[in-house]
Structure 1
Amino acid sequence: MLRQLLEKKSLVVAGLMSGTSLDGIDVAIVRIDGCGMNAKVQPLHFESFSYDEELREKLKALCSVEHSDVAQVCGMNVVMAEKFAEAVLRTAELAGMKMEEIDLISSHGQTVWHIPLADAANAYLPKSTLQIGDLSVLAKRTGRPVVGDFRTADMAVGGQGAPLAPYGDLILFRDAAKGRILQNIGGIGNCTAIPAMGETARVEDAELIAFDTGPGNMVLDQVVHELSGGQLAYDADGAWAARGKVQADVLEQMLAHPYFAQLPPKTTGRELFGKAYTLAWLAGVQAQGLSPDDIVATATAFTAHSIARAYEAFILPRMEIAEVIVSGGGARNRTLLAMLQALLPQQAITTSDAFGISGDAKEAILFALLGNDWIHGVPNNLPSATGADRPTIMGKLALP
């Protein structure tokens, strides 16, 4: 089976992404010609499948030391694999494709815990990460080979296992004349700053700056969920935030979090900015008498300001940037984008949709690229982004 894949000039790959926002599963079916920096991507079909409320809450509990246990982790590893398989099968059906037409599935998995830096006080908590959604179950259910579990390989060569998106950002969005920042706003915000560079550039020559900027939609979505009594999962179009007034003093206290002062490369997740953080913050601002409108506006500004300040501290002094290209769920939040544009008047704020890459599908497409390069034996991490000692081939294979 692998020999047949290697003999093909192009591969049809289903990329799967399920992010820290815990909103659902994205499946992008793409045709990829070539590999590495020379890869050319043709999107064929995209679907997104939302998690129901029960599954979302169970995943949130799984991502919490206080509410998780080994039995739940063990069971959910299979549950999520079944969910991923259902999503791929359904996407193929909606695309009018037979599963045999898909050469490979490339799965990010569902992150439940991420330790980007070793705990110096505990030898049993080394740099490590855990994404669930068993690859073998996914391969058996779909009948297709599956590549996944990418992050651990980068950690094994000294990296933080994240961010991985910069590799695909470089392939898809580099420009000969313009410096660009690719900003994904999912549960966590992550950015890739790419200087102007030509088509002939090599991965190893790319002087990128990439890191997690902090919370993307994670805090905001939890706030909206709580304030709406569980009726809303997110602030559609940023309409709720637009009714409120940002409380500057509260915002400055939020931006004083130590994470924002850390130097890149750096990554974060629900360990720092998850449900526990948000509920504690929400209780505090409600005790101060802030209205729901102002709370949502301030939570939205938290994301916008953390992104803009990260650029000002770590990117703009070192690189000329003309455009910020936003993707992920945050790209649909008009209030958030307006805040970003106001904070970054010298840069044009746009979305990946303007470049023919759906903002919702982009990260799933990026993981399709990672899986494609695994098949071709091409290193698919970016040490400048993750802090790894060297380029390496990330991923593991499960056969049907």
Structure 2
Amino acid sequence: MAFAVGIMSGTSLDGVDAALVEIHGTNTDTTVKLVEFTTYPLGKDIIKKIKEVLSVETSSVDKICSLNVELGYVFSEAVKAVCEKAAFPLEQVDFVASHGQTIYHLPVPGAHQVASTLQIGESAVIAEETKSMVVSDFRTRDMAVKGQGAPIVPYSEFVLYRDTKRTRLLQNIGGIGNVTVIPAGAQMEDVLAFDTGPGNMIIDELCQNFYQEAYDESGAYAAKGKVNQGLLSEMMAHPYIERPYPKTTGREDFGVEYTAALIKKWGTRVTPNDFIATATQFTAQSIAVNICDFVDDQSDLIIGGGGSYNAVLVQIIKEQLPHVNVLIQEEVGFSSEAKEAIAMTILAHQTIHHLPSNVPSATGARKPVILGKITYYH
């Protein structure tokens, strides 16, 4: 048994999720109890710095170098915050599992490039500040055996959600949408997972552009708008949507540059609320198109991540998949917010015990491997 804190800072930049958990067992015998959860806010200055290094136009080596260490301190504060909230002594944390902040993900390289990924948030700083062992940088080992380094959570989802009688699909809607498909009675090698396309990313960018707000709370703006079919058709024609799996995507495909180009082309013809409604429809429809071959009336689609709190988005997904039992994480006894942070602790626990936790059938890797790098505290 161990106590661990998982920390996750995703593509949506809505804060650092920190989950304090009690974890028992390894492999498929792993059980996890959530002790406490918090989202540690990212200050405006940090968000600005992250966005600068995410853009090829404003990024630089010195900015990434400095931000790597600065985020180490931010992540350390998130660990301390969740322990303080739980009234749990920091010194009793056995390890910290840090996903890091993805700066660039390049599973399909261009000319003169190699497949690669980069997550920052210096683990040495976290170890020193929390006085704990840190497991971090989970994606790169999968890519070393020719995987795409993503999706990263299918192992934890198989452990926690598999069912003997029903097919279960775990659809996370963060900045990007990703799905894990666990057939009824599945073994690990039967699990599939891939990114379905955008999650909240485009919606968030539109809200920021039109209303200077970080996101569309409960889908309020989308509810006031109407879907523009011409714009929707153009969005659905994005080549990623029909690309066969395994596949992963990110801000490189659906980030600020993509959204800015849409606004430039359609902004004089589409109202802000119609734009947001159309982007919401796009997210829902891209999910439905990508998972339709895996679902029937004996399937559960369990939605997690920030998008699960967008009532309009969830309703559209239900309409797109009327024969599927659509639920959100809370309806099956888990936290949507804490899901990915908890997943990091499961991966790290495997690493500490010298056990693999990638899913080759999901990432395309040649073989199972032990993920992550360990930074010891002494």
Counterpart among 367, 383, 387 of residue 360 in structure 2: 383
Q: Distance in 2 between matches of 1:218 and 1:108?
A: 19
Task: Indicate the SS of the match to 1:277.
Answer: helix
Structure 1 gaps, min length 5: 1-9
1:20: Cα distance to partner?
A: 0.9
Identity %: 44
Q: Distance in 2 between matches of 1:82 and 1:54?
A: 14
Code of the residue aligned with 1:300 in structure 2: it is T
Describe the shift of the 1:41–1:30 C-alpha distance in structure 2 as closer, same or farther (beyond 3 A). Answer: same
1:244 aligns with 2:211: no
1:356: Cα distance to partner?
A: 1.9
Which residue does the alignment assign to 2:55?
64
Q: Distance in 1 between matches of 2:176 and 2:87?
A: 33
Q: Distance in 2 between matches of 1:209 and 1:216?
A: 19
1:27 aligns with 2:10: no
Q: Distance in 1 between matches of 2:244 and 2:95?
A: 37
Which 4+ stretches in 1 moved above 4 angstroms? none
1:55: Cα distance to partner?
A: 1.9
Counterpart among 291, 294, 306 of residue 315 in structure 1: 294
Q: Distance in 1 between matches of 2:96 and 2:306?
A: 23
Counterpart among 201, 207, 214 of residue 233 in structure 1: 214
1:158 aligns with 2:146: yes
Deviations 1:264-313 (A, max 9, x none): 000000111111111111222212x211111110011110011001112x
1:115 aligns with 2:106: yes
Q: How does 1:283-302 map to 2 (within 5 A)?
A: 283-287=264-268, 289-302=269-282
Code of the residue aligned with 2:228 in structure 1: it is Q
Task: Indicate the SS of the match to 1:191.
Answer: strand
Q: How does 1:344-359 map to 2 (within 5 A)?
A: 344-359=321-336
8 Å CA contact 1:195, 1:320 repeated in 2: no
Task: Indicate the SS of the match to 2:97.
Answer: strand
Q: Distance in 2 between matches of 1:18 and 1:179?
A: 29
Describe the shift of the 1:321–1:78 C-alpha distance in structure 2 as closer, same or farther (beyond 3 A). Answer: farther
Which residue does the alignment assign to 1:268?
249
Which residue does the alignment assign to 1:105?
96
Which residue does the alignment assign to 2:174?
186
8 Å CA contact 1:37, 1:202 repeated in 2: no
1:207: Cα distance to partner?
A: 0.7
8 Å CA contact 1:195, 1:321 repeated in 2: no
Which residue does the alignment assign to 1:89?
80
Code of the residue aligned with 1:359 in structure 2: it is S
1:73 aligns with 2:64: yes
1:320: Cα distance to partner?
A: 7.0
Structure 2 gaps, min length 5: none
Describe the shift of the 1:224–1:365 C-alpha distance in structure 2 as closer, same or farther (beyond 3 A). Answer: same
8 Å CA contact 2:40, 2:81 repeated in 1: no
Q: Distance in 2 between matches of 1:292 and 1:115?
A: 32
Residue correspondences, number: 377
Counterpart among 202, 219, 223 of residue 219 in structure 1: 202
8 Å CA contact 2:297, 2:323 repeated in 1: no
Q: CA RMSD in A?
A: 1.2
